[in-house]
Structure 1
Amino acid sequence: MFKATADRDTYISILEPRHADELFKVVDRSRESLGEWLSFPAFTKGVQDSKTFIEKSLNRFAANNGYWSGIWHKGELAGSIGYLYIDSQNSKTEIGYWLGKDFVGRGLVRKACKLMIEHAFTDLQLNKVEINIATKNIKSKAIPEYLGFTKEGVIRNYEFLNGQYLDRIVYGILKDDWITIHH
């Protein structure tokens, strides 16, 4: 999947090195809001860091072990969504996502998730998609809940971020459940 259209104004496309400057700008403008729940903004100090991230993502894509796509809305890079890995042996993946602060509340992640989930089940022939989210991240938790994921459990003290341990909720959806709910 190099480009998938969600609607007239929104699409996702695999990130390429030429997107590094735009990606860095979105992260830099949203450093505070993203940093509340994610560790990568603290390590993204310049355009070169975004370029390195994209290059690593493309290497993972080439190795069939996940990749990151940009979420574009009305011609602007709004955020990113990706497969953190692809576990072929167990036929599953985990989706991660984030949006720049100027794009929150428009349903963009929900639309992008649908595209990524369809791709996972249809093209990659996976059986399960997971989404893991900090328990206190109310806005992000709404996405898998809206899409029909099952809350499978909580991983306590999953991550140390901003001076505190954050618990993570593991959400999962199976291919058969997705088809029943969304087709």
Structure 2
Amino acid sequence: MFAIPLAENAELRPLEPWHAPEYLEHIERGRAHIDAWINWAALAIDLDSARAVLQRYADRQAADTARLYGIWLDGTLVGGVMFVQFDAKGGTCEIGVWTEPAGQGRGLITTAVRHLIDYAFTVRGMHRIEWHNKPENLRSRAVAQRMGFTLEGVLRESYLHNGVHQDGEVWSLLTHEWKSRATPTG
């Protein structure tokens, strides 16, 4: 197993099918908060469906089309980051995030996203990373801005969430933009 430190008491680790009981407990604690922004929480309503969600991502990781990581704070799963889609051949991917309230305001998502961006660009040679969020999700928007993503536009009423057509922002970050941020200028 590997873990990447995010803070003194927090780490990023793969989130795998055997974590299903812990994952379901996390989703139950954060369901109302998470579901306000994405339908992620609705996918796990019992142990079998929680295990199925995690297995689906394990299968997609094996196919090199997605990856899923959890964020543990003081030994408790409080959120996660993921490659929602990962197209190595095309050089594009999308990063997604979620957290329960206990994981907010500590910079954990931002730090975890930085690791995913670095992996995508420097290890996997991706060209473009996308970030999607609701315009009113100011926390998500702030992470995209801190990481240097550019807002490309708003897809008006582009997806159905909780029975309502929602707008979605699309942000992007290109490899040369990330590398120029990491390179000191003289």
How far did residue 85 of structure 1 move? 1.3
Contact 1:135-1:166 within 8 A present in 2 as well = no
Q: Which residue of 2 aligns with 1:151?
A: 151
| Partners of 1:88 and 1:151 in 2: CA distance | 23
1:65 matched to 2:72? The reply is: no
Contact 1:95-1:130 within 8 A present in 2 as well = yes
Q: Give secondary structure in 2 for the equivalent of 1:30.
A: helix
1:134 matched to 2:138? The reply is: no
C-alpha distance after superposition, 1:142-172 (max 9, x if no partner): 1001111111111111222233221111111
**TM-score after normalising by structure 2:** 0.92
Q: Which residue of 2 aligns with 1:169?
A: 169
Contact 2:43-2:50 within 8 A present in 1 as well = no
Q: Give secondary structure in 2 for the equivalent of 1:125.
A: coil
Superposed CA RMSD in Å reads 1.5
How far did residue 107 of structure 1 move? 1.0
Q: Give secondary structure in 2 for the equivalent of 1:39.
A: coil
C-alpha distance after superposition, 1:95-153 (max 9, x if no partner): 01100122111111101100100010111111111110011111111100111111111
| Partners of 1:112 and 1:158 in 2: CA distance | 28
1:99 matched to 2:99? The reply is: yes
Runs of 4+ residues deviating >6 angstroms: none
Q: Which residue of 1 aligns with 2:86?
A: 86
Contact 2:88-2:124 within 8 A present in 1 as well = no
Q: Which residue of 2 aligns with 1:116?
A: 116
C-alpha distance after superposition, 1:25-53 (max 9, x if no partner): 11111111111111132232112211111
Contact 2:17-2:58 within 8 A present in 1 as well = no
| Partners of 2:71 and 2:182 in 1: CA distance | 22
Q: Which residue of 2 aligns with 1:31?
A: 31
Output the amino acid matched with 1:111.
T
Contact 2:10-2:73 within 8 A present in 1 as well = yes
Output the amino acid matched with 1:57.
Y
Q: Which residue of 1 aligns with 2:51?
A: 51
Give structure 2 stretches of 5+ with no counterpart. none
- Percent of aligned positions that are identical: 28
Q: Give secondary structure in 2 for the equivalent of 1:90.
A: coil
Output the amino acid matched with 1:118.
D
How far did residue 2 of structure 1 move? 5.0
| Partners of 1:102 and 1:181 in 2: CA distance | 30
Output the amino acid matched with 1:98.
W
Contact 1:16-1:54 within 8 A present in 2 as well = yes
Output the amino acid matched with 2:119.
H
| Partners of 1:119 and 1:7 in 2: CA distance | 19
Output the amino acid matched with 2:149.
F
Output the amino acid matched with 1:144.
A
